[in-house]
A = this chain, B = another copy of it.
Amino acid sequence: MSIEVVSTNTSLGQAMSGWQQRVNNLLDKNLPADNIQPSTLHQAMRSSVLLGGKRIRPVLVYAVGQCLAAKQSILDKPACAVEMIHAYSLIHDDLPAMDDDDLRRGQPTCHIRYGEAMAILAGDALQPLAFQLLTHLSSHLPDKNVLQMIEILAEASGSRGMAGGQAIDLEAVGKKLNIAELENMHIHKTGALIRASVKLGALCQPAVTPAQLEALDHYGKCVGLAFQVQDDILDIEAPTEKLGKTQGADAALNKPTYPAILGLEESRKLALQLHEDAISHLQIFGDSANILRELSAYIIGRDY
């Protein structure tokens, strides 16, 4: 099976660009204005979240919602919430005590612009904002769905999800991980929030069945891991200006990566396998899941 890089000419490209624009506008609207006190904190939060990026997590929320014919206005809140959690994790990840990155999406990182203390607080304040946004869904969805969404996002962000993955990552630096350990790290670090994005999108359709939820959860698990494998490949292959972060940063930090353990060719094969596994669970949706098939292909075919 050959994977083509999705360009903005394709239907996915158009959908993605529409969703990216939509979520950018909504993030702008849902973040406190930067003239509201405490203004420096709000500026730090806004500039980090509104820096752009692929918005893969919101795109997944919208794509799953489209597959299930959920209302776009309902999808907006989880789309923003998952991106706020992602943005906070990047701010903290870039801190000197963590990855010590000066550059993010081609721009100075939050602590470079606002100082370490303000960057810590900006991340801290984005997290509850994400949960608060989800509570506002209660006028659009049954309360039990909203509570389930909050629980899923909390679990995915916490010590048994994303923050736990970061802790595993931290302790893995300089160690030789085997492939199972590397996978365990990424299932938590990147995978948990991507998987949660898929589930949150699904729960925006009140009529979603348990079988549909299960199939989508499997899809989310596979694309979450595929995303990370491709990220590791790009860390080696893509030039700094395209990546928006320093090329070879993982290698320089002596971080375990898929190419380091499997080699580049095997890593590419693994990404393809994960893609095939992901789409194999979409059959029950028929053609309405085409956008999710294309998105999975995009995730392992992207070049930045």
Query: Pick the contact of A45 from B38, B127, B159 — CB < 8 Å?
Result: B159
A266-B75 Cα distance, complex, nearest whole Å: 53
Q: List residues of chain B with CB within 8 A of the CB of A144.
A: 138, 143
**Using Cβ atoms and an 8 Å threshold, which residues of chain B touch A115?**
97
Give the interface size bracket for A toward B. 35 or more
Q: Pick the contact of A147: B38, B95, B147, B161 (CB < 8 A).
A: B147
Chain B nearest CB, measured from A129 CB (Å): 5
Q: Does more than half of chain A's interface fall in helix, strand or loop, or is it mixed?
A: helix
Write out the residue numbers on chain B whose beta carbons fall within 8 Å of the beta carbon of A202.
Answer: none
Tell me the minimal C-beta distance from A148 to chain B in angstroms: 8
Q: Is the CB of B168 within 8 A of A154?
A: no
**Is A158 a contact partner of B128 (Cβ separation < 8 A)?**
yes
Is A183 positioned at the interface, with any CB of B under 8 Å from its CB? Answer: no
Is B131's CB under 8 angstroms from A37's CB? no
Which residues from B are CB-within-8-Å of A37?
164, 168
- What is the CA–CA distance of A131 and B120 in the complex, to the nearest angstrom? 20
Q: Are B125 and A159 in contact (CB under 8 A)?
A: yes
User: In residues 22-43 of chain A, which contact B (Cβ within 8 Å)?
Assistant: 32, 36-38, 40-42
Cα distance, A237 to B154, chains bound together (Å): 41
Tell me if A154 and B170 are in contact (CB < 8 A): no
Contact A38 B121 (CB under 8 A): no
Q: A118 interface residue, CB < 8 Å from B?
A: yes
Residues of B within 8 A of A166 (CB): 121, 124
Asked if A51 lies at the interface with its beta carbon under 8 angstroms from chain B, I say no
**A132 touching B147, Cβ below 8 Å:** no
Q: Which of A108-146 contact B (CB under 8 A)?
A: 115-118, 120-121, 123-125, 127-129, 131-132, 135-136, 138, 143-144, 146
**Known contacts A97-B120, A121-B170, A135-B148; can you find 17 more A-B pairs with CB under 8 A?**
A32-B159, A38-B159, A38-B167, A41-B164, A95-B117, A121-B163, A121-B166, A121-B167, A125-B167, A127-B128, A128-B131, A131-B154, A132-B150, A138-B144, A138-B147, A143-B147, A150-B150
